[in-house]
Amino acid sequence: MTCRDLLSYVGSSTINQYLEQGLNMSLSTSVNGETTYTNSFKCKTTDEGFYFLPRMPSGYVVDDTLYQKIFAIANAALYPMYTLLKQNSAYFVPVKTDDIHTMRALFFPWKKGISERLIISNLDNFINGSHGTTIPVMKNLSFDYNKVTSMAICGNSGSGKSYALTYFLSFLKSFSDLIIVDPKFDSPSRWARENKISVIHPQKNRSKSDFVSEVNESLSQSLSLIQDRQEVLYDNPNKEFKHLTIVIDEVLALSEGVNKQIKDSFFSLLSQIALLGRATRVHLLLVSQRFDHTSIPVSVREQLNVLIQIGNINKKTTQFLFPDLDPEGIVIPVGKGTGLIQIIDNEHPYQVIPLLCPTYYTKRGIL
């Protein structure tokens, strides 16, 4: 039976009763033994999520600790019919009632079903059949690149970062110019060779500082392009430009081991591009094992609006891309290319959701 079949089979009243029963059994120590049977709280389900309505004053504290406890219980209990969207703190909402005892509730937003991986037998045909600048990520999840400022892919070695990057590059080449920086001279370079795109990479007869200086020169040219486009937009605000994406694989390798002046220039150029590039359709796509202040400036990290963390998921690994998130209770799928994703725009839920990167087949020798 599929998730959709389960949802049609299990009505909202049944889900409501099921939730209340689960909370009655699991919350006893947190709410001093109070239950729905003593009229201490009740649940109400909607299409957007469910409400936990405490009857106040209560014999237990209604706070963030209680909220996270309910999340952990309900998220496991509702899997795979619903996926709760993790909140950074307790989500209070007002209730339209004249009864002072029930005027507030804790709200737990959800999405129907669970994250499902895309299986793509022919990537080129799949891309040719896609629509414009829309990039599919999972079943029922895609984003419009026109609304993307910058992207980040983070994960430990062997987590599938290069595999995910190659997928996005394959889409971007159809509607975006690409500047690819590959400090490791690895899979992005091989992909670029197959697609006849130039790559900035280290060479044997050049120093690390010389290589980063070349990167800075390319970033400087991109910044000049942004300024030229800004002048055009001043007179014609509806002008549309072709996307330009600056792709930097393993960005941490660029910022380590070079002299301070060159590193400061690199950080300054990255910051200006991240801050000014949105209106002129100049984007950053950054890949790294971590995104702390030594790899990119904080101002760049704040402009990222497609955030992908794959591999090991815990409080330590998510502290840079998702500093306010406690991933405890989120059901992370098992396997390569799994983790978390957050798309910050006006179309998607703001919350972080579980991610399964697409499975696809590409030319032998690239990955």
* Rg for the chain, CA atoms, rounded: 24
Whole-number Å distance between alpha carbons of 110 and 48: 6
pLDDT for residue 335: 81
Which string of DSSP letters, residue by residue, matches 251-308?
THHHHSSS-HHHHHHHHHHHHHHHHHTTTTTEEEEEEES--STTTS-HHHHTTEEEEE
The packing angle between helices 187-194 and 161-172, to 10°, is: 30
pLDDT for residue 364: 63
10-residue stretch averages of pLDDT, the chain, 367 residues long: 44 83 87 87 93 93 94 93 91 94 95 93 89 92 94 92 95 96 93 94 87 96 97 94 96 86 95 95 96 92 95 93 90 88 86 93 66
Angle, CA of 13, 16 and 17, to the nearest 5° = 90
The 10s digit of each residue's pLDDT in 42-92 is 999 999 999 999 999 998 999 999 999 999 999 999 999 999 999 988 999
